[in-house]
Amino acid sequence: MTVKRVEKTAEQWQAELTPEEFEICREAGTEPPFSGAYCDTKDPGTYRCRCCDLELFDSGTKFESGSGWPSFYQAVDSANVQLKTDMSHGMTRTEVLCAGCDAHLGHVFPDGPNPTGDRFCMNSASLRLDPEDA
């Protein structure tokens, strides 16, 4: 499946997002640990990109990592996320971007649970939970 691209100017993104969402999604910021809306959420549903609404993570892959950010062991579809080397802050990490709009989502680390061993450590401000119908 091909991911539909969403391209907007910084001004267009600023008009649509809160200042915190813009800083995190468009300028690769981060929210303080344990402060995000989805850190402790256990509601079933699909986590989508706050900017372009692309499906990113299923709540069934969310786990408690103790990191202070919502964590998932895999994306809904690997084509929906892009991985990029991030050498900021004096360390080498793997940044996770939305494949639909290049929004900064967070980082992925190789210390997650089975079956993947991955920990997608995401910013709540980059996500929107689409609840499962009860």
- pTM summary value: 0.94
Give residue-wise pLDDT tens across range 3-24: 899 999 999 999 999 999 999 9
CATH of the domain at 30: 2.170.150.20
Query: Which helix (DSSP H) or strand (DSSP E) does residue 119 occupy?
Result: strand 119-122
35 within domain boundaries: yes
Q: Which residues are catalytic?
A: 121
3-state helix, strand, coil in the chain (%, to 5): 20, 30, 50
Number of domains in the chain: 1
Instruction: List the domain range (segments joined by +) for residue 77.
Output: 10-131
Quickly state the pLDDT bin for 121 (edges 50, 70, 90).
very high
User: Cα–Cα distance between 112 and 2 in angstroms, integer?
Assistant: 28
